[in-house]
Structure 1
């Protein structure tokens, strides 16, 4: 288990994080370039070694209701890993990947009759096109996917990412 000074040293090695002292000797570290409302990556790092890292929607972690994971017993490798993932998740690229199902922003879906529909991520929405005609608009990829499956379509094997 890392002590407070070791954790502090590891966290301070991330130049994109800015230190902000809060009450009772605790420290937050914020990611100013966050595209989310959330800016705190490290929350309430305490001199006793306790603290939290924002890990909402990051695979491999079970965050609390606020999206935080306790780092009291983390090793150096674990701490560095979760901080890198948290920064990435709050970055423009990380938000894009989350919104576009891992960076895929364009898919072709085909039904048994050979008809095809195109799903394209545009202006933070998922649009489904039949040729040049807009067939539907959805807030999330999951909603668009559910619609297409209900209509009897399946994704084509090739997927296209951001160009």
Structure 2
């Protein structure tokens, strides 16, 4: 997922996946591999956070290593990598082979992996979405459910090597 603006919609998407007070998110369990340690659990209710395994990282290398271990485990159906707060040069140093290996392992184990980044990052992505929320200052005090309704994913074309 790629935000249309500076990190537009990323935390809203996480909120939608976690659900609200009733804990009725899309997944009963999920893992958030937080590449830049930017997730704020205090902005979510306890019931939502109880469904979350939060892996705090401080670099792209830590994020990739943690994701690799979790995907190889094979018991986690949904893994979310948040690379939005990481330096683009550091992310660019991740070899394409690491992404391919991660993709193949996830497919073999039946895991779903979503990578959130501020720019296209994964050369072997099966689907690339751009998030747009079209928010302004008047939405600052809006309920999270109203903001989620404004979130719009737009599919982007992928370049395929022939």
TM-score by length of 2: 0.22
Q: From the two aligned structures, give the one with the greater strand fraction.
A: 1
TM-score by length of 1: 0.22
Q: From the two aligned structures, give the one with the greater helix fraction.
A: 2
